[in-house]
Amino acid sequence: MSKRLPLSHRWQLLKQAVAPQLAQMWPGITLIGLVALARLLGLLQPLEWTALDNLMRWRAPEAPEPRVLIVGITEADIRRVGRYPIPDRELAALLRRLQQYQPRAIGLDLVRDLVVEPGHRELVEAFRANQNLLAVERTFADRSGAVVKPPPSLPPERVCLADVYLDADGHLRRILLGAWTARGYQFSLSLCLAAQYLEREQIFLENGTRDLSAIRFGAVELPRALPNSGGYVRAAGDENQTLLNFRSGRQPFRVVSLTEIEQGRVEPGWIRDRIVIIGVTAPSVQDTVNTAAIAGVNPGQAYGVEIHAHAASQILSAVLDRRPLLRDWSEGWEYLWLVGWGLVGIGLSQGIASPLKLLLALGLAGAGLGVASYGALLVGWWLPVVPALLALVLNGTLFASFYRYDQSLKSQIAASQLGMQERQQVIDHTFDAIHNGPLQTLAQMLKAAQAQEAAPNTWFAKLKHLDEELRAVYEAVGKEVATHSQSLYLGSNLAIDLAAPVDKLLSQAYRNALARDLPCFKTLEVKVYQFEPLRNCVLSFEQKRGLYRFLEEALCNVGKHATGVTCLRVIGAQEQGWYRLRVMDNGAGLPPQTQAGVATAQRIGTQQAENLAQQLGGRFRRAPQPPQGTLCELSWPVSRAWRWRPSRWW
């Protein structure tokens, strides 16, 4: 049983396997880094805003919000009254009529810092009588430095903020919840209306628990929109804001006019126990905000009173109906999401060769990304879809082009080197075949000549055998090189299948070598051989050919030079992550006076074995075996032959 590799060794093997793949992926990783950098610099911010608007506009329509009623002052109301701003008397009459229906809260989204006679005294009395009335002021100065003051007759605790923050493209996506002003910390109109409504439900406004600076109603905490939330990069505004999850549909709220209220043409149930927000819905007054997230009668714009209704409804629906609020991932998760889709693009470009199939796969992956982002938005998560889509598409197109160019360049280089490699293979194969065949015969003849023991008829037989071997070398090398065969040709009719397992190949080399007519084999009494299967190792045909030639050479050396050998042991075994192939004999070897004649042949065989060991990443050694004999050993780490192939994964 082989022992498990040490952790350090396995780590080195993993690095050796992964490093080439990472080197090949560096253009794609660079593209991912460029997309991440563009996002960090805010270059993708407008695209992310547009993607968010489109995803929100594509949502299925929701039922109208029953808890909020908008009273709009229309163009028809202004023509009936005869001027704008409408007189204080008209506004006082509206408040008295609404109060008869007992709403929970009334929000007055009108500028009322100046007296508009006639009827100012009546309006002051209406303010005093309607304790659930909330009015607005604007504390953020415009370009001219102007602000909007609250009605002077209204107590400060009933004055709320009507300020909004617009993004750089002029659209509204965040709603103000609270801010520090000259009078202390004040809440927005939408938050005050929602808080007043929820007090009847015994749900009160508190500080957050996960975020102490956030606002909480019961178990629902309103997530703050920070400068880098979602697709924002260094967004303006340090006040307490939250992303506005607009209510979808063309008619998210019931809207009635000033005239309809005064003439009593409304259902009492529309007002009783509801939030009523009074504002202008006349285009001539231009109290509008740009937004592309809702599909209204006039797409791209919404009246200010509608924005307050959306914000108040968002809070009520989150607390009472568990409607999701818009949240965002932490920046770490967002960039991990980006990298993940970039790697998908790299994988597709490497794994799909056909341009048409690649475009189809990229289309399907992009559609999957869009569906995932849309589904996440439905449950309240704003994911960075634009950077992820850019990383996917760029790596699927530009990286694919680079990868194809790189592969083409490598193919051209390989083709230019192929001729040299083939010529070198011819030389190597011819050399090996001559060394292990005719040269062995010549060495045997030289040894016999030195001993002066060969008769003339024996010389003739050996020369005839040498002629046959040379002709066989010519035919075998020609077949191997010309056909790029997976076989090792040993003669006209003998071929070794290199696709066979290593242990079978070594067994065949052992049998073929011992079948040769070599003098020292005649004294053998004990022959032991065993070849264990090679596990966790993949060898090329050239490496298998080298192993066959190595064992053949080692055994022929025993047959030629191991004088008086009686015991031969040939063992191939896997030990501690290495495969060791040993040839051990107990022969006396050559006498000193005869070693010079075969020194050159031995050096050639040693060089062959050392080259093979280098290819396998292993070692070769030849050493004497006390008290008599020789050890010839080739060993290599079986794990190094493993290589990671992308085709296994794509």
62-71, 236-245, 255-264, 366-375: lowest mean pLDDT where?
236-245
Q: Does position 84 have pLDDT exceeding 70, yes or no? A: yes
Confidence of residue 421 (pLDDT cuts 50, 70, 90): low
C-alpha closest to that of 629 among 544, 580, 530, 562: 562
pLDDT of residue 1: 42
Q: Got the DSSP string for 472-493?
A: HHHHHHHHHHHHT-SEEE-SSS
Q: Does position 296 have pLDDT exceeding 70, yes or no? A: no
- What's the rounded Cα separation, in Å, for the pair 556 and 454? 20
Please provide the average confidence, as pLDDT, over all residues in the chain: 82
Q: Does position 297 have pLDDT exceeding 60, yes or no? A: no
**More confident site: 189 or 627:** 189
Share of the chain above pLDDT 70, in %: 77
| pLDDT tens digits, 364-406 | 999 999 999 999 999 999 999 999 999 998 888 876 666 565 5
Confidence of residue 239 (pLDDT cuts 50, 70, 90): confident
C-alpha closest to that of 176 among 241, 80, 258, 248: 241
User: Is residue 122 helix, strand or coil?
Assistant: helix
pLDDT of residue 646: 38
Assess contact for 388 and 337: CB atoms under 8 A: yes
- Mean pLDDT within 357-368: 91
C-alpha closest to that of 633 among 625, 641, 643: 625
Confidence of residue 603 (pLDDT cuts 50, 70, 90): low
- Mean pLDDT within 625-633: 89
Q: Does position 318 have pLDDT exceeding 70, yes or no? A: yes
Q: Does position 346 have pLDDT exceeding 50, yes or no? A: yes
Assess contact for 594 and 447: CB atoms under 8 A: yes
Which span out of 352-356, 407-411, 432-436, 451-455 was modeled with the highest average pLDDT? Answer: 352-356
Q: E strand or H helix at 225, and its extent? A: none
First and final C-alpha spacing in the chain: 34
Q: E strand or H helix at 495, and its extent? A: strand 495-497
| pLDDT tens digits, 11-69 | 666 555 555 555 567 777 888 999 999 999 999 999 999 999 999 999 999 999 999 99
Which span out of 100-109, 226-235, 288-297 was modeled with the highest average pLDDT? Answer: 100-109
pLDDT of residue 203: 96
